[in-house]
Amino acid sequence: MRVLVYGAGQLAQMMYLAGAPLGIEVEAVDVNTETLVHPVSKLPLEATLAQAIEAADALTVEFEHVPEHLLEQAEKSGKLMPSMEAILVGADRVREKALLDNLQVANCPHRIVTQLDELDRCLQELGDKLIIKASRDGYDGYGQWRLTEAAQLEDIKASLSGLNLQQVPLIVEQMLSFDRELSLIGVRSKSGEIKVYPLTENLHYQGQLHVSVAPAPGVTQAIWQQAQEIFTRLAQGMQYTGVLAVEMFQCGDTLLVNELAPRVHNSGHWTNSGSDTSQFENHLRAIVGLPLGDTQARTPAAMVNIIGCGAFSRDLLSIPGCHLHWYGKTVREKRKMGHINLTADNYQQLGNKMAQLAGYVPSEAFPMLPDEAEKLS
C-alpha cells in the first residue's frame, strides 16, 4: 500500500518509519517545489506529483498550511484524509472558532477583528490581557502578539499596521490564567470507530512545546469524560478520518479548546514509547482502512523536545527507557531538531530519569526540564 504525505518534515519521516513494518510505503510531497521526496533522505523520487496521487491508496498531510491549490487537487482524487475541510479548519483560526462554536465545544473568549480600531472594543469586552493571533500560518507561537496592559495598545497597532486584515483577520483572545495545558490525541476510522490516547500534559516555553507527560497526572473522572466528549463531538462533527489532536486549557473542572491539529501532533510523540500503537501507526491504519490499534498507555512516559540545539552527548541513551528521535535537520534557533522519549514504571521514576537527562543536555535549551523533574519525583 502507498500513502502520500503533503509536507516532508519530521512528521512525514515518523509516518514513514511506522509504515514500513506494515508494508505501507510512505512518500512525501515537498509543498514548496511540488515534487516528490523520500521522507527520510529527502532525496527526489522518480514520479511526478500527479502520478503519485494516482498510485496512492491514501493522501494525507503532516501540517495544515498546505497551499490550497494542492489541497484541491488532492481532494479531487477522493483519497485525501482527513478531508480538505478538516485541514482548513486547522489552518484558519476563523474557521476553527466557527466549528467549535457550531458544535458547542467550549473555547477561549475571543473576537474576530478585521479593522485595527476594533481592538479598543476587544479591550473593553475581553479585559486588558489579550493574545492577538493571525488567523492563518501561525505555529510555535509565531504570528502572535501579547498585550498585558492597555498602554501597549498603540504600539501593537503600529506593529500590526502592515497586515491585510480584510484578507487575513485577527483572532483576539482573552489571555487565560489556566491551571495547565492538556491535549487529547485520538483517531477515527473510516467507519466511525474512535479511539483516544490518555490525556497528555504539555509544558510550553515562549509559545513552544518543550515537554509532554502522559498520561497527564491527576486527571479527574470529570475532566476525562469532558475530554472524550469534546473529541467525539469534533471527530464526528467533521466526519473525520485519521489522527486528530485537540489542544486544551484546563481551568478548574473545565476544559477550553485552544486549537485543533488535523494530523499527528508533537504532543503525541510519546506514543512511540509509551503506548501499544503509536499515533503514526494509528493514523496510517485509519486512512488505509486497517483496524485501529490499542491506544492505552503502557507506562508513564515523557517527551522532551530538542529545540535549536544539536550539541549534546548521545550517552543520554544509557538512561533505561530513553529513546532519541533525531530529525536530521540543520540546527537553527528555535527549530525542533528532534525529541527524546522516556518511559518509567511510575511518575517518581520518570521524574528521576528527567533529572538524569538534564545532566546530559545544555540547560539553556531545556528550561522546563529541572522543574518538571522535581515536580514528578
Q: Which segments are annotated as binding site for ATP? A: 93, 133, 138-144, 173-176, 181, 204, 258-259
Site string for ligand ATP, 174-203 (x = CB under 6 A): -xx----x----------------------
For the four alpha carbons of 216, 217, 223 and 224, in that order, the dihedral sign comes to: positive
Cα separation, 144 vs 351, in Å, equals: 32
Residue 107 or 226: the one with the smaller Cβ distance to ligand ATP is 107
How many other CB atoms are there within 10 angstroms of residue 165's CB atom?
17
201 with 212: CB under 8 angstroms? Answer: yes
Segment near ligand ATP (CB under 6 A); pick from 14-22, 72-80, 168-176, 282-290: 168-176
Q: Which residue has the cell 540546527?
A: 331
Rule CB under 6 A: say whether 308 interacts with ligand ATP: no
Segment near Mg ion (CB under 5 A); pick from 74-82, 113-121, 190-198, 245-253: 245-253
Rule CB under 6 A: say whether 204 interacts with ligand ATP: yes
Give min distance, CB of 133 to Mg ion, in A. 9
Rule CB under 6 A: say whether 128 interacts with ligand ATP: no
Segment near ligand ATP (CB under 6 A); pick from 77-85, 139-147, 156-164, 319-327: 139-147
273 with 21: CB under 8 angstroms? Answer: no
Restricted to residues 90-129, the positions that interact with Mg ion (CB under 5 A) are none
Cα separation, 238 vs 245, in Å, equals: 13
Give min distance, CB of 299 to ligand ATP, in A. 26
Residue 76 or 139: the one with the smaller Cβ distance to ligand ATP is 139
300 with 229: CB under 8 angstroms? Answer: no
Residues whose CB is less than 8 angstroms from the CB of residue 300 and which lie 6 or more positions away in sequence, other chains included: 213, 214, 215, 274, 343, 344, 345, 346, 347, 349, 350
Q: Which of 3, 53, 105, 131 binds ligand ATP (CB under 6 A)?
A: 131
Going by C-alpha positions, the residue among 276, 141, 284, 273 that lies closest to residue 207 is 141
Residue 171 or 322: the one with the smaller Cβ distance to ligand ATP is 171
Going by C-alpha positions, the residue among 201, 259, 199, 202 that lies closest to residue 229 is 199
Give min distance, CB of 183 to ligand ATP, in A. 9
Rule CB under 6 A: say whether 62 interacts with ligand ATP: no
Coil, helix or strand for 52? helix
Rule CB under 6 A: say whether 47 interacts with ligand ATP: no
Residue 92 or 281: the one with the smaller Cβ distance to Mg ion is 92
Give min distance, CB of 297 to Mg ion, in A. 22
Annotated binding residues, as ranges?
93, 133, 138-144, 173-176, 181, 204, 258-259
Residues whose CB is less than 8 angstroms from the CB of residue 209 and which lie 6 or more positions away in sequence, other chains included: 140, 202, 203, 266, 267, 305
Beta bridge partners of 257: 107, 248
Give min distance, CB of 317 to ligand ATP, in A. 27
Task: Give the single-character DSSP code of 26.
Answer: E
For every residue of 351-366, DSSP letters joined together read HHHHHHHHTTS-GGG-
Segment near ligand ATP (CB under 6 A); pick from 94-102, 133-141, 191-199, 341-349: 133-141
Restricted to residues 247-306, the positions that interact with ligand ATP (CB under 6 A) are 247, 258-259
Give min distance, CB of 262 to Mg ion, in A. 11
Going by C-alpha positions, the residue among 267, 263, 268, 237 that lies closest to residue 100 is 237
Chain positions contacting Mg ion, by CB under 5 A:
247, 259
- What does the binding site for ligand ATP look like in residue numbers (CB under 6 A)? 108, 131, 133, 138-142, 173, 175-176, 181, 204, 207, 247, 258-259
